[in-house]
Structure 1
Amino acid sequence: MPGLRLVFLTVNEDPDIAAEAIRLGASGYLLKSSATAELFTAIEQALAGKIYITPLLTNGVPLAVFLGQAIGLQNRS
């Protein structure tokens, strides 16, 4: 569906799963343990056409670097 934005809210803490979700078109990836305010941030980012991944998974690594590392690791398998 054109214009559809998906934000995952999950218990899965695997960074590779988060990167795969984004690669497949998700706009956001949050953990159920994330703060409630973070959900609003993720929705705002998705509506603005941006990607949001919880800092609980990225550990302060910039999003582009995080996604590049995760995708690079998948390609090495």
Structure 2
Amino acid sequence: MKTIADVLREEGIEQGIEQGEQKGIAKTLLAFLSRKIEHLPEETKDKLRQLDGQKLETIVNDFHQIETVEDLNKYL
């Protein structure tokens, strides 16, 4: 039988993994966007780093439609 501590520990581990995945996606996405959009403002980069997994996934799926900072800002 799991204790409350075990359940909380497992939830914490799951949250940590999810946050790590989101950071990895954001980092990779920023690398690709920086190559695609010549002058990506730091403010835009910061906003992207703070997005949740669902919004990051949307940007990944629509990546081919993003050509300018203005296009990207529609997702932020």
**Larger relative helix fraction:** 2
Same fold (TM over 0.5): no
TM-score by length of 2: 0.31
Q: Whose strand proportion is higher, 1 or 2?
A: 1
Greater gyration radius: 2
